Amino acid sequence: MDYVTDRDNLSEYVKGLTEKYADNKSSNLIETLILDTARDLKLDIVNVDDSYYIKKGEKPKALLHLNIDYNKNNLSFSIEDYDKEIIKSEYDINLIISSILICYLLDFSHESFDVLITHNNINMCDMKYSAVANILRTDNVINFNLRQANCIADEFSSLKLFLNQVKVERFKPEYEFGSYRISLHDLSGGHAGEESDKVKLNSVKLLVTIIRKIKSKVDIDIVSLVGGERYEYIPSTSYIDFVVDRQYEADLLNIFEIVKNESLEKNLKYEPDMKLSLTKIDTNKKDPITKESFNYLASFIELIPMGSFYVNSIDDKTISSSNLAAARSLKNHVNLIIVLRSLSEESMNSMIERINVASSISNSILNEKFHIEKWKNKDTYLTDVFKTAYSEINNDELNVVKTQYSLDSSIIFNDLNVKIISIGVKYKKAENVYYSSIEDLFLVVNLLEKVLNKIY
C-alpha cells in the first residue's frame, strides 16, 4: 500500500470503530476495544493478575503494553472533519488513541507480537505482576503511556512515595460558632512528572495559603483538610472545613471576597478556570485543631518542595519533581502523601532531605511507603531499531528522551530482564475536549509497523 491508501485505510477503520461503539459510553471502553478485536481474530487471551495478555503469532517480536491506571468516567470518542480528520474525547484521549492503534495493528499487521493490558497505579503500591513473567514471550516491551509526541523514552525516573502524618490536637470551642467549608476546584491538575508541571498549581498548597490569609484577618479554627485523590496526579480540588465565632461571620464573608478576588486575579494566567467558594455547612464530625497544630500542618506544606525541583539548564527538561498528592484529616493526624520522582540520585537525595527537615520541625512522622528504582535499558538495541526506522520514514533523527512519566512498564517489569521503550501519540486540549488527528495516529502506526519488521 502507498501512504495515501494506508492513511485512508486507518481513517475508515477509526470511523468504523466510532460507529460500532457509539452507544458504548462506559469506563471499560478502552480494554473492550482491544479485547473485542482480539476475540474477533480468535487470538489467545490469558487473564492474569487482573490483566490481559494477548498472543498474536508464534514468535512475537515485541510486547505492546498499555496500562489503564484508573478511570471512573464514562468514555466515548468520535471522529469529525475539520481541516483534517480529528479524533476527540472528553477524557483519556491518550488511552483511547493508544487502544485504537493497538486494535489497528492487531487487525492489519503481518508481524507477530503480544499485547498486555494492565491496571496498575501507585495508589495500589502492593500490586504484583509475577505471573506475567511466566507467560512473557519476548524481552522487547513497547509501552503506550508516554504523554509526549514525536519522541520515544528509553530511560525512566526513580519514584519514592512517602506518608507524612502531622500530629494534631483537638479542642472543644467555648464560643458559639458557625461551620464553613472553603473549596478550591477546577485547577488544571493532571499527571505529575510532565513538563507542564512547572506552571501548574497544587490545590492543597494553594488552599492552605489562602486560608492563612483569611486566618490572619479573622479568627477561625481549622477542622479538616482534604485534597487530591490519585497519587500520580497533581491535586486539582481541595477543601478545608473550619469554624468561626458567630460574631465574626460578617467579617469572614467580607474578607473571603477580598481574598478570593486577589487569588483569582493572581492565578488567572495559569489557572483560568479556577473556582473558589465558601459555603456554610450544618455540622462537623470532628472538633477543630489547635492553632499550634495548624501551624505545624501549614509549615510542612509550605516547606516541602513542590512541582519541578531541578531542571536541566541546557534543554529545560525536568530532572526531578515533587508532588503533594493527597491530604486527609483523621482524628489525631493529618495524612499527607508526597511523591518524589527523579532521574538523578543526587537530586532525589536533596528532595528527601528537604521533606525530612520539614517533617522534623512540624511534629510529624515520615515513612517511605513505596520505591521503584530508576530504569535504564541494559543495551541500546531497541532504541537503535526505533531510531533507524524513524530515520528511514522521515529522513530525520528521532528524539530520545528521559521521562518522569510513563513509569507503568518500569514498575510492572521491574524485576525482569527486558528492554522498554515508551511512545505516545500527539494530542491537544481545547475547551475541555481532548483531540488528536488521524494524521498523527498514522505516523505512529507507520513507525511501529516498521519497527516490528526490523526487530529480529
For 363-431, the three-class secondary structure string (H helix, E strand, C coil) is CEEEEEEEEECCEECCCCHHHHHHHHHHHHHHCCCCEEEEECCCCHHHHHCCCCCCEEEEECCCCEEEC
How far is CA 410 from each of CA 2, 153, 192, 261, rounded to the nearest angstrom?
A: 36, 12, 16, 44
Q: What confidence score (pLDDT) does residue 377 get?
A: 94
Q: What confidence score (pLDDT) does residue 176 get?
A: 94
Name residues of the chain where pLDDT drops below 50.
1-5, 74, 82-83, 197
Q: What confidence score (pLDDT) does residue 101 get?
A: 93
Q: What confidence score (pLDDT) does residue 103 get?
A: 94
> Selecting from 3.40.630.10, 2.60.120.10, 3.40.630.30, 3.40.50.300, what CATH number does the domain 3-156+375-454 have?
3.40.630.10
Look at residue 55 and give its three-state secondary structure: strand
Q: What confidence score (pLDDT) does residue 235 get?
A: 92
Q: What confidence score (pLDDT) does residue 131 get?
A: 80
Sign of the torsion formed by the C-alpha atoms of 18, 21, 27 and 30: negative
Look at residue 374 and give its three-state secondary structure: coil
Q: What confidence score (pLDDT) does residue 194 get?
A: 55
Segments making up each domain of the chain, as ranges: 3-156+375-454, 159-372
Residue whose C-alpha is closest to residue 449's, from 121, 113, 130, 119 = 113
Around Cβ 37, how many Cβ atoms within 10 Å? 21
Q: What confidence score (pLDDT) does residue 76 get?
A: 52
d(CA 221, CA 240): 11
Q: What confidence score (pLDDT) does residue 209 get?
A: 97
Q: What confidence score (pLDDT) does residue 370 get?
A: 87
Q: What confidence score (pLDDT) does residue 1 get?
A: 46
Task: Tell me the CATH architecture of domain 159-372.
Answer: 2-Layer Sandwich (3.30)
